[in-house]
Homo-oligomer: A and B are copies of this chain.
Amino acid sequence: MNTDPIDRLSINQITVKSWSLAETVRGCARANIHNVGLWLEHIDETGVEQTVKLLAEHDMAVSSVCRAGFFTADSARERAAAQDDNRESIDLTAGIGCDVLYLVCGGVPQSKDLVGAREAVKDGLAELVPYARERGVRLAIEPLNPLLCGERSVVVTLAQSLELAAPYSPEDVGIAVDTFNVWWDPRVLDDIARAGERVISYQVCDWLVPLPHPTWGRGIPGDGVIDFAPLTRAVTQAGYTGAIEVEIFNEEIWASDPAEIIEVVKTRFAQVF
């Protein structure tokens, strides 16, 4: 391929948190970036029709939508409510013509039953897959860093994600590889290879040392300790040729001018990827 590497860059909306969806789309287009990762609440706020119009006007593709999931509540009532939300999320994702919806599977419930919570993820997924399939949306299981096992996701490794995905066609259930979440895993390269065509999203950010904050302390690629080359190579060899999405949760970055952040990200992207 003879394309400009920048063609693969996608900006996840959280990286430019202070911008609205419209500002994000316009800001990326101005910076000659043609992919964005969007968040459901912003799509909902902007409206599906207006979002589609904005994307078309700026020749902008959506590399992923964040996020459904949260399957792990103790009570049947709460789980059912989460699934209602999930179906709505699938509708919104399909509505804007994106086919990758992230699943953040849910943290440890009140009962502290970690094994039970993992079973609940399996059950919740089984219930959701047919609905997503009918609407042409692929569910991307995202293992989160074990740091987030308590709060956000009892699914914390690629191996676990692959096991969850195994009963389904890769057309329906894939895996999201995010460097922050998987870089530490001694099995990461093997498991990305095993994942093959199930890799349907690749998000990148760096691990800062020391970590400034458990949740809001992620770094721009190049600022931390992650060696991106082997991970990117593994993802590419697995067959993934889609967007590389820069998703950064960081309070310091959020306090900066988004247009400047995008310029820094572009420069780093050219250096690192």
A interface list, Cβ under 8 A from B: 107-108, 112-115, 118, 145-147, 149-151, 156-157, 159-160, 183-186, 207-211, 213-215, 217, 224-227, 230
Partner of A211, one of B112, B151, B207: B151
Q: What's the Cα separation between A151 and B156 when bound, in Å?
A: 20
B150 touches A209 (CB 8 A): yes
Partner of A210, one of B157, B208, B215: B215
Residues of A contacting B: mostly: loop
Q: What's the Cα separation between A108 and B209 when bound, in Å?
A: 9
Q: What's the Cα separation between A149 and B182 when bound, in Å?
A: 11
Partner of A213, one of B115, B160, B214, B224: B214
A209 touches B151 (CB 8 A): yes
How many subunits of this chain does the assembly comprise?
2
Determine how close the nearest CB of chain B comes to the CB of A175; give it in whole angstroms: 15
B186 touches A159 (CB 8 A): yes
Determine how close the nearest CB of chain B comes to the CB of A224; give it in whole angstroms: 7
Q: What's the Cα separation between A147 and B147 when bound, in Å?
A: 6
| Neighbouring B residues of A185 by C-beta, 8 Å | 146, 156
B207 touches A156 (CB 8 A): no
| Neighbouring B residues of A209 by C-beta, 8 Å | 107-108, 150-151
| Neighbouring B residues of A156 by C-beta, 8 Å | 184-186
